[in-house]
Amino acid sequence: MMDKKWASIVLSAGRGTRMKSDLPKVMHQLLGKPLIGHVLDIIGTLNTEINIVVTGHGSSIVEKYLDSHGKVVKVRQEEQLGTGHAVRCADSELRSFSGDVLILCGDTPLLTSESLLHFMHEHEASGADLSVLTAEFQDAAGYGRIVRGGSSWLELREIVEEKDASDEVKGIR
């Protein structure tokens, strides 16, 4: 059981250019449901107080789906200026909220409620201001990289998309 209140922000504004489709990335189907539908189903098990979905590219399509999915707050990122900007767009909906915020990507349907509940519990138990859930891959091609600090693997320096990464950063798994 979580001691703190939680909110969620689901980032769903991306274009998904690598998918070579006009359909918003989060609306591509997996097992007969849009990717974002799987993420929202998982969030529905977490007992969050407020759930915000940031839309952008193809917002009308995504928002129409959200209208039929349940209670979420829709925030539109008019100009796609990156992940940090997308999170900032949700800020106005969280001004009166006091608690922790879980930030998820709308195109991650393989997350499980068990892994997120464990992550949330560990975040609370650690007393950390910020926690980042990461994974290590044998072949990290196509994924962004977490660049950690020199003094400790716990220190987060930056998140670099693969297209912007140096050869050294691409070596991070």
Could you report the per-residue pLDDT of 57-74, keeping only the tens digit for each? 889 999 999 998 778 999
Q: Which residue has the tokens 């009308």?
A: 60
86-134 pLDDT, tens per residue? 999 999 999 999 999 999 999 999 999 999 999 999 999 999 888 888 8
Asked whether residue 1 carries a pLDDT value surpassing 70, the answer given is no
pLDDT band per the 50, 70, 90 thresholds, residue 19: low
Helix axes 35-43, 59-69, angle to 10 degrees: 40
- Give the separation between CA 51 and CA 73, rounded to whole angstroms: 6
pTM of the model: 0.87
Known catalytic residue at 18: yes
Annotated catalytic residue within 18, 88, 145, 157: 18
Antiparallel, parallel or unpaired: β 33-34 and 29-30: antiparallel
The CATH classification of domain 6-132, taken from the options 3.65.10.10, 3.90.550.10, 3.40.50.720, 3.40.50.2300? 3.90.550.10
Mean pLDDT calculated for residue range 159-166: 87
Cite the residue boundaries of each domain of the chain with CATH code 3.90.550.10.
Answer: 6-132
